[in-house]
A and B are shown apart, each in its own frame.
Chain A
Amino acid sequence: MAATGQVKDFTATMGWARGGRSSLRSTNLIRIGLLLGMGIGWEALSRSGLLFRDVVPSLFSIWAAIWKLVMNPAFYANLQVTAWEIFASLAIGGGLGVAVGIILGANRFLGAAYEPYVYYLAPTPRIIFFPVMIMWFGVGVASKIALGALSCFFTVALSTAGGMREIDKVLIRVGRSFRATPWQMAMKIYLPAMRVPVLNGIRLGFGTATVTALLAETKLSNQGLGFMIMQIYSRFDMPSLYGLLIIVFILAGVGNLILGKATGTSA
């Protein structure tokens, strides 16, 4: 429509410092330029010898280390352990979180009674519960799963409860007006409307479970990617340390992206 087009053009020229529209190409150029600049700067710093040896290892040695890690069967064994921990944490903590979140979000009374506890406990440092988890579940995989589950429970419960409250109340009134039975209400109104908050909660829970499980592995374990990080650290093998961290960040990013796509919620 001409009218809206005009308004849009107009605001584009009006805003202070909003600039013109730059093309996708220039965006990519800037990205490539920044990456190249950072890479060259890094390499130059690495070769200048200004910093202690190996603090800034050459990009080529990092690349070689990544390659070696990817070829190493131990990497996959550890990856499997960590992946299992994250999955189990998410299944237990996330499942409980969704259940509790739905109850707290749907019932105003229970929400008012118990949600403050979830809300204020959620942003506390969860890793400090690790000693307790070790006492309860031993030093193996189980304590990491327990800690991961504990961490993502809060994230998922809060996000789900918040999402539940945002469900448009008019939808519920519409359902009632059609004299839907409780079963019909649950299947036709609540479940479809809850999909997005629940899935978004799980995606957030994945991030929390990942960080917590990996951190717990760095503290005390004998397998998993976190353990591998500490092993490499104890050898002061800097290229491999950078390499493994890069791999872990990429894997976490990909996991987040896949969950985001699968659930239709953006990162």
Chain B
Amino acid sequence: MTLASTATTGAPSGQRPQLVIDKVFKQFGVGPGAVTAVDHVSFDVKPGEFVSVIGPSGCGKSTLFNIIGGLLDEYEGDVLIERERIAGPHKAVGMVFQEESTFPWRNVIDNVAFPLELQGVNKSERLDRAHHFIDLVGLKGFERLMPSALSGGMRQRVSIARTLVSQPQILLMDEPFAALDEQTRLLLGDKITQIQQDLNQTTLLITHNLTEAVQLSDRIVVMTYRPGKVKRIVDIDLPRPRSSDVVSSDAFGHYVAEIWADLREEASRGMADSESARRGGSRG
């Protein structure tokens, strides 16, 4: 089991890591009932790199997401962006949430232009830039529709466009496709891959979906079930540019099998844990 020591060693010569997670530790509650959600997790994300954090439900992935996003301030260890410890949400980070997060009272283009509105960008430029990103996520022609008229996958693309429009240096996503069906997920994965390659977008994806992680990532951080530690970091050497076709390749299958071997152990621990909790009502 390779623990946490890859934080800086993996960086190619001269290339400074953009995002560094250093021995981050987070515990909920106090005393004997306390639950350690994230246990000394360390890894980094280099400029232009796509990294996924994968683990079974209950491994503290979402907690990690909230810490990196600056939504959760009380934790031990450091989250560094350009060598500075973050305090609150960092302006370089754009977040995409797992839950439906479009504003139901704004139409598509106003949703996407929202961050620019906050920045005080004038209207014509705002709309231009919003149009560009709506086009990028493949929603051209839907600008004037309200979110209620869109499918779940389209709404999630609106959220992604809204995050991209302010051109964050780091894109941080928490299971953005969790609520979608498998086909939509693969196709949206293509979209994300393409965007990430076009923009050379540094991306950190939190997911529990193995094929999604392998399809999209340059590196995968595998986490253990409670407490959430880094079990292994796997480099994915699949050719770029990629598309969802990659899922049929031998190399893809090899990676999936390899990571699943790690993940299965953790997931079954999690399952046993939740079953025993249900049976005995005792704390896991």
Contacts and interface: CB of A to CB of B under 8 A. Distances in A.
Direct touching of A and B (C-beta under 8 Å): yes
A135 interface: no
Interface string A182-211: 000000000000000000000000000000
A10 B66 CA distance: 10
Nearest to B284: A2
B74 A13 contact: yes
Contacts of B58: 3, 6
Instruction: Give the size range of B's interface with the partner.
Output: 10 to 19
B284 A3 contact: yes
Contact of B29 (A1, A3, A9, A14): A9
B277 interface: yes
Contacts of A73: none
Nearest to B274: A3
Contacts of A1: 274, 277-278, 281, 283-284
Interface string A4-25: 0110011001100000000000
B72 A13 contact: yes
Nearest to B74: A13
A165 B41 CA distance: 53
Contacts of B274: 1, 3
A14 B66 CA distance: 9
Interface in B246-284: 274, 277-278, 281, 283-284
Which 3 pairs across A and B sit closest by C-beta, in order of nearness? A9-B28, A2-B284, A2-B283
B37 interface: yes
A3 B37 CA distance: 10
A5 B74 contact: no
Nearest to B57: A3
Interface residues of A, number: 9
Nearest to B270: A3
B71 A14 contact: yes
Interface in B35-91: 35, 37, 58, 62-63, 66, 71-72, 74
B281 A6 contact: no
Interface in A127-158: none
A6 B28 contact: yes
B35 A6 contact: yes
B241 interface: no
Contacts of B33: 2, 5
A5 B277 contact: no
A149 B35 CA distance: 59
A2 B281 contact: no
Contacts of B278: 1
A13 B67 CA distance: 12
Contacts of B277: 1-3
Contacts of A9: 28-29
Nearest to B37: A6
A1 B284 CA distance: 7
B29 A5 contact: yes
Nearest to A3: B58
A10 B26 CA distance: 11
A8 to B, nearest CB: 9
**Candidate in A6, A9, A14 with the most chain B CB atoms within 10 angstroms:** A6
